[in-house]
Structure 1
Amino acid sequence: MPTQLFRLAITADTTTTTDTNPDVSRYFYDLAAGDRDTATDTLTVLASKFLDDAGIGVPATGLETVAADNGYYSLFINGVLQQTSLFTPSAAQLVVTQVNTIPVSAPITFVVTNFAPTSTSTTTVDT
């Protein structure tokens, strides 16, 4: 009998369920005239000037930051979503550029969304 390759005769089915588990932090601030620098057209909002969803002040380094490759920022000024190139966030502050035309008392909403995804897989092998 010549040499031949013997193969296993099996089938396998895998089902994977993934939950994204978003973790959203929202921060609120009303533009105060003295907070923007009209000479540089920038606004620096310290973390301590923001309120959270419960209306509680945020600690000095209390702004949530996004997890690397697993989250994103959204900034709304006067209800309008802004481009990410216009702001620089950190745990201590939010710096926004091109702000001289924003009206005083305009609401600024800063949203940080992170994800903690989990997946479970079930594999069934039939031989």
Structure 2
Amino acid sequence: MPLKIMKLAISGSTTVDTNPAVERFFYEVAGTVVGEGTITISVADFWDDTGAAATALPVLTTDNSYFTVYINGVLQMQSLLSYTPGGTGTGQLVITVPAGSTVTADSPVVLVVTNYAPDASTDIVT
């Protein structure tokens, strides 16, 4: 009889649900900012998706979250942004406006925070 590789008669499948929680915050720039400059937006200056004043900026879940910022509908570079989450009445977004750039008054700023709560289940059949 020839040699043969022996293996287990097992099969398995894994299901992963990402469960994203997306929160959006809105702001209109009060006055024109010509770079080099900064725009500092505290939580109290943002509105949420319902139009109500925001009260807290969500904490970013370690290794399962990210935030993006759009100014006038254009996605901004991460290195220009500083996000500080916080509970009631705390937290802010700081946008660095580099030299040669301008953000005009009334430009909309949209902050999108996405946190994931992944869940996985594995079924093994023998």
**Shorter chain as normaliser: what TM range?**
0.7 to 0.9
2:47–2:54 contact (8 Å) kept in structure 1: yes
Instruction: State how far apart, in whole Å, the 2-side matches of 1:82 and 1:101 are.
Output: 13
User: Residues 108 and 9 from structure 1, CA distance in 2 versus in 1: closer, same or farther, beyond 3 angstroms?
Assistant: closer
Instruction: State how far apart, in whole Å, the 2-side matches of 1:78 and 1:104 are.
Output: 11
User: Residues 9 and 86 from structure 1, CA distance in 2 versus in 1: closer, same or farther, beyond 3 angstroms?
Assistant: closer
Instruction: State how far apart, in whole Å, the 2-side matches of 1:39 and 1:80 are.
Output: 17
Alignment of 1:1-127 (within 5 A): 10-33=8-31, 41-59=37-55, 62-91=56-85, 92-98=91-97, 101-125=102-126
SS at match of 1:56: coil
Name the TM-score, length of structure 2 as normaliser: 0.83
Kindly name which structure, 1 or 2, has the bigger radius of gyration based on alpha carbons. Answer: 1
Instruction: State how far apart, in whole Å, the 2-side matches of 1:19 and 1:27 are.
Output: 25
Instruction: State how far apart, in whole Å, the 1-side matches of 2:54 and 2:62 are.
Output: 22
Instruction: State how far apart, in whole Å, the 2-side matches of 1:87 and 1:54 are.
Output: 25
Give 1:10 shift: 3.4
2:16–2:121 contact (8 Å) kept in structure 1: yes
Uncovered stretches (5+) of structure 2, i.e. residues with no partner:
1-5, 86-90
Amino acid at match of 1:94: L
Give 1:33 shift: 1.3
2:65–2:114 contact (8 Å) kept in structure 1: yes
Q: Calculate percent identity across the aligned residue pairs.
A: 36
- Name segments (4+ residues, structure 1) moved above 3 Å: none
Name the TM-score, length of structure 1 as normaliser: 0.82
Uncovered stretches (5+) of structure 1, i.e. residues with no partner:
1-7
Give 1:19 shift: 0.6
* 1:19-45 CA distance string (max 9 Å, x none): 1110001000000018x6x68500100
